[in-house]
Amino acid sequence: MATYSVHLKDDIGNKYERKNKYLLQLAQLDEKIKQEADSNKKTELLKERKSLVSNKKKHPHNIRLEEFRKKEGEFLNSLKSNVAEYKKTLSEKTNNQVKNLKTRMYHHEKRIDFYKEYSELTYEADFKYRESKIHVEQIPEIIDFIEGIEAELFQAIEAKDNLDPKDDARMKEDLKSFKKEAKEKRDKEIQKVKERRKEGIISSKAETNAIKEVKREYKNQVKLQEYKIPSKENKDFIRSKKRELANGIRRSEKVLKADVADTRRKIPVEFEKSRPVVAYATILLPGVGQLINGQRRKALFFILATLFSYFIAIPYALGYGNYQGEGVAGLISLAEGGARVDKSLIFMIEGVVAIFLVLIAIGLFYASFRDVLKTERRMIRGIRPTNWFETKRTIFQEGFPYVTSFPAMLVIIFIVLVPVITTFLLSFTNMNPQNQSKFTWVGVDNYKLIALGEGLAGSVFWLIFIWTIIWTLVATTLAILLGFFLALLVNNDRIKGKKFFRTIYILPWAVPAFITIMFFSIMVAPGGVITEILNSIFNSRIEIKNDTVLTRAALILIQGWLGSAYVFLLTTGVLQAIPGDLYEAADIDGASSFEKLRRITVPLVLFQIAPLLVTQYTFNFNNFSVIFLFNSGGPFDPQRYGNLAGSSDLLISYVYKLAFVNQYQAIAAAITIFISLGVMFFAFLGFRRSKGFKEGRL
């Protein structure tokens, strides 16, 4: 059995006595029933409560309440016609805004007369009485403000028609001569400032500021002189008054609405239901619950959600409106038994899109249900439903992050998540050169091939994986050490020409990487400059691109050089920010250069850039461009790597060759998932071990 509370409460916990004597009597009985220990007396109280509920319509308060509602309906009907008649009595010359305000004033005056009599009967009448009272108190001020501005505007417009063109022409001529004199004075002042700079009296910065001030003063003087032109002064006055009028009305209306909203919070509402019903009854119809609760504008948004759900999301999920697929069902069938033109991949993508559309619809249903449920529960406590002014204010204050991020979330869903989920699902299929158009689900077979190193694609996976790990650790560590060393070197006080060296060391990062990679690729090719130099030094035939060890070593050196510039840039910025007092204190304590490096420099640098260094490892793990551009993954060794990969291929370039060159999309997707999970795991470990992460800076 649902129970009522004796008191009503607002948002901050203030208590209010019930005006509805029927509900108050029910609440008092509920309190007695809860506290009564004697079962016989409890039974009597329950019978009394049941009798009270069954005779609800005969209760004196409810009879008076019904009479009030009947009279209110008659009053509101007559009020419409009275307001219309009153509006006709207003002068046609009256400003439309003033006319509307006077009509509102009349409307609320009549409401005050009616609701004042019933303000002690029900909180609803009390609220409407106070709401109208606020309007009656504030609308006259708005009308006076509008009429005052309108009078000034009328005078200004009349004055505009009476302006003497000769006065305007004379003042414009005066302005020209004034500008000429002011300009000459300005130029003289600027020349004086420049001479003071040449004499060394003021600094370059002071010269710039002084010239700016002289020019600003000149502009202000010209502008003041322009306002002496009657037509210009009149035009600006009219423009400013119109702006003042628009802003003043908007501000006054906002104050009025804020006062009404404040009154809504202070006057409770008595809800006859003791538990939420509307939220559960309208769960499948977003917007209807808001309409029942009197929140019409909010309901409009959720009605759009209903239309989206029932006319877009659900039909699409059932296959209606698909390009080829069958909605969610297409994920199961994958076009099996379909027409020749049907493609399993399209069925899969459309199925994934359908799932996301349904999830969005479910989210909108839940948001509507939660909103109605929250409103109902608040009404049971005594809190009025928020009006549109309060809702809008809440959205812009508390819900602003969600409103602004919602479009980005939609983009992420369809640009990022749909491809990621499709790739994940593809890894459980047999999409290969023999099954391009139509493929089926094969479970975890692809992952078994990878784990056990079986099959054409899986047999070389672990060889490539081991080389990828070696490449990532050695190439990235080399880049970090080289960049850190160069930064320390250039930051040394004894080094001259720091700007020159910094420019040189940043070049590998500034110049597009593919240019550098292609340059070195040509240099170490057979007949290349570097190859010929090595041949002459060692007096033997060296072919770097045809030797696995030399190719891998060259790739590591190239990436070490390319990556060092970024680390150099990061480290240089941090080194320049380290206070010199720390090193001076270390010198006083007798610390050596190595101890200062180990105790001061390295910890401070790592604290700032450790997370960025972790991203360097993850970047190099998936560094496709340097492998592909340098030697296309070669040299090739069919006996060890088959025909699908080269001896310098990383997992990322191996995936590219599997998916786009040899059409083994399913196994490539499985390897992609493996790579992604591995990179995320090791990146998390790297971030977790950094000091900035431990101290909550990340």
Q: Which domains does the chain have, with CATH numbers?
A: 7-142 (no CATH), 145-266 (no CATH), 278-426 (no CATH), 447-694 (1.10.3720.10)
| pLDDT, position 695 | 55
Question: What's the Cα-to-Cα distance from 402 to each of 324, 357, 360, 398, rounded to whole Å?
Answer: 35, 19, 15, 9
Q: Which of 632, 651, 255, 307 is nearest to 464 (CA)?
A: 651
- pLDDT class for 690, splitting at 50, 70, 90? low
What is the arithmetic mean of pLDDT over 546-559?
93
Q: Which backbone phi and psi does 512 adopt, to 5 degrees? A: -50, 135
Percent of the chain with pLDDT over 70: 98
What count of other Cβ atoms lies within 10 Å of the Cβ of residue 334? 25
Instruction: Out of 61-70, 88-97, 339-348, pick the least confident.
Output: 88-97
Average pLDDT for the chain: 88
Question: What's the Cα-to-Cα distance from 537 to each of 66, 527, 530, 541, rounded to whole Å?
Answer: 109, 15, 11, 10
| pLDDT, position 604 | 83
| pLDDT, position 96 | 86
Q: Looking at the predicted structure, is the pLDDT value of residue 693 above 70? A: no
| pLDDT, position 410 | 85
Helices (H) and strands (E) in the chain, counts: 32, 2
The DSSP secondary-structure symbol of 598 reads I
Percent of the chain with pLDDT over 90: 43
Q: Which of 116, 165, 164, 137 is nearest to 259 (CA)?
A: 137
Three-class DSSP category at 169? helix
Q: Which backbone phi and psi does 244 adopt, to 5 degrees? A: -60, -40
Three-class DSSP category at 338? coil
| pLDDT, position 288 | 94
| pLDDT, position 1 | 52
What is the arithmetic mean of pLDDT over 9-31?
88
Q: Would you call 696 exposed, middle or buried from its count of C-beta atoms within 10 A (0-12, 13-18, 19+)?
A: exposed
Which position has the higher pLDDT, 475 or 608? 475
| pLDDT, position 455 | 79
Question: What's the Cα-to-Cα distance from 184 to each of 189, 217, 354, rounded to whole Å?
Answer: 9, 13, 73
> Which range, 237-241, 350-354, 382-386, 541-545, has the best average confidence (pLDDT)?
350-354
Give Cβ neighbours of residue 185 (< 8 Å, ≥ 6 apart). 218
Nearest 10 degrees: Cα torsion 333, 339, 345, 351: -50
> Which range, 219-223, 310-314, 538-542, 681-685, has the best average confidence (pLDDT)?
310-314
Q: Looking at the predicted structure, is the pLDDT value of residue 691 above 70? A: no
pLDDT digits 0-9 by tens, 573-605:
888 888 877 877 887 878 887 787 888 888 888
Q: What angle do CA 537, 543, 545 make, to 5 degrees?
A: 135
Three-class DSSP category at 632? coil
Distance CA 69, CA 67 (A): 6
Q: Which of 108, 105, 107 is nearest to 146 (CA)?
A: 105
Cα R_g (the chain), whole angstroms: 40
Taking the model in full, what pTM does it have? Answer: 0.79
| pLDDT, position 698 | 47
Judge whether 281 and 292 are in contact, CB under 8 Å.
Answer: no
Q: Which backbone phi and psi does 431 adopt, to 5 degrees? A: -70, 110
Three-class DSSP category at 9? strand
Q: Which DSSP string do the residues of 346-374 spell out, in sequence order?
A: HHHHHHHHHHHHHHHHHHHHHHHHHHHHH
Which ranges of 413-458 does DSSP label H, i.e. alpha helix? 418-426, 445-452, 455-458
pLDDT digits 0-9 by tens, 37-46:
888 888 888 8
| pLDDT, position 694 | 54
Conformational region of residue 663, where left means phi above 0, alpha means psi within -120 to 50, and beta covers everything else: left
Q: Which residues of 592-621 are buried (b: 16+ CB within 10 A; e: fewer)?
A: eeeebeeebbeebbbebbbbebbebbbebb
**What kind and span of H or E run contains 691?**
helix 691-694
| pLDDT, position 124 | 93
Q: Looking at the predicted structure, is the pLDDT value of residue 154 above 90? A: no
| pLDDT, position 157 | 84
Distance CA 30, CA 416 (A): 56
| pLDDT, position 355 | 95
Q: Which backbone phi and psi does 55 adopt, to 5 degrees? A: -105, 30
Distance CA 189, CA 216 (A): 12
Give Cβ neighbours of residue 449 (< 8 Å, ≥ 6 apart). 455, 457, 458, 667, 670
Which ranges of 282-343 does DSSP label H, i.e. alpha helix? 288-292, 296-308, 314-317, 329-333
| pLDDT, position 235 | 86
Distance CA 557, CA 576 (A): 28
pLDDT digits 0-9 by tens, 240-277:
989 999 999 999 999 999 999 999 888 999 988 888 99
- Tell me the two tokens of residue 564: 């060092």
What count of other Cβ atoms lies within 10 Å of the Cβ of residue 501? 15
Which position has the higher pLDDT, 340 or 134? 134
- Tell me the two tokens of residue 665: 């999309």
Question: What's the Cα-to-Cα distance from 552 to each of 168, 287, 645, rounded to whole Å?
Answer: 84, 64, 14
pLDDT digits 0-9 by tens, 397-443:
777 777 778 888 888 888 889 999 999 999 999 999 998 899 999 99
**What kind and span of H or E run contains 533?**
helix 529-538
Residue 16 pairs in a beta bridge with: 8
| pLDDT, position 444 | 93
**What kind and span of H or E run contains 496?**
none
Q: Looking at the predicted structure, is the pLDDT value of residue 687 above 70? A: no
Q: Looking at the predicted structure, is the pLDDT value of residue 128 above 90? A: yes
What is the arithmetic mean of pLDDT over 350-364?
95
Distance CA 171, CA 178 (A): 10
